[in-house]
């Protein structure tokens, strides 16, 4: 096999490896939006840290409940400061294989509670998709959107 053929096979292999996230048709963002909408609908089921613990356990989603004291001792890296109440952190696994590989394998949910154990703030995160604008056109390629 000549050098040119090997080079073309290498380019084709890299193209095949990098192309799946270009054709998700918004599946990753739809999955994130569906998880966000589900949590908004189920807000009554997570109105306290005890209920949230049961909610995530029932759905077999990995989660942890940190008391304010434990939060202050082992403050999560992504958290600016610990609040007055418990912090419930859950990691919803992403179902779409392409999204898991090329974007993020989990949707992180942070439920902040006040000193009376009432839900005070809900934070839902997933790594953002990236866009590549094509020069001199109005076209953008979205990576794992």
Sign of the CA dihedral with 60 first, then 65, 71, and 74 last: negative
66 domain-assigned: yes
The pTM assigned to this predicted structure is 0.78
46 domain-assigned: yes
134 domain-assigned: no
Work out the angle at residue 41's Cα, subtended by the Cα atoms of residues 144 and 23, and round it to the nearest 5 degrees. Answer: 15
Domain span including residue 68: 23-128
Domain tally for the chain?
Answer: 1
Residue 109 has pLDDT above 70, yes or no: yes
* Contact indicator for 123, 110 with CB cutoff of 8 Å: yes
138 domain-assigned: no
Residue 143 has pLDDT above 80, yes or no: no
37-44 CB contacts, 8 Å cutoff, 24+ apart? 39/109, 39/122, 39/124, 43/119, 43/122
1 domain-assigned: no
36 domain-assigned: yes
Q: State the maximum Cα–Cα separation within the chain, in Å, rounded to a whole number.
A: 72
Query: What is the pLDDT at residue 130?
Result: 74
9 domain-assigned: no
Q: Tell me the pLDDT tens digit for each residue of 5-43.
A: 888 788 777 766 666 666 777 888 999 999 999 999 999
133 domain-assigned: no
Please report where in the chains the tokens 């995160």 appear, as a residue: 125
Burial of 95 (0-12, 13-18, 19+ CB in 10 A): exposed
Q: Tell me the pLDDT tens digit for each residue of 71-108.
A: 989 888 888 888 899 999 999 999 988 888 888 899 99
């Amino acid at each position: 096999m000549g050098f040119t053929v090997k080079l073309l096979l290498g380019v084709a292999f890299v193209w095949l490896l990098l192309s799946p996230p270009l054709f998700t048709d918004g599946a990753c963002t739809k999955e994130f939006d569906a998880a966000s909408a589900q949590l908004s609908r189920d807000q009554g089921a997570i109105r306290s840290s005890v209920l949230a613990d049961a909610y995530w356990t029932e759905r077999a989603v990995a989660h942890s409940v940190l008391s304010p004291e434990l939060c202050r001792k082992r403050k999560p890296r992504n958290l600016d400061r610990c609040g007055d109440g418990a912090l419930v952190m859950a990691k919803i696994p992403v179902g779409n294989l392409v999204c898991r590989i090329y974007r993020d394998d989990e949707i992180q949910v942070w439920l902040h509670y006040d000193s009376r154990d009432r839900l005070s703030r809900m934070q839902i995160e997933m790594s953002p998709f990236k866009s590549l604008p094509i020069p001199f056109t109005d076209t953008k390629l979205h990576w794992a959107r």
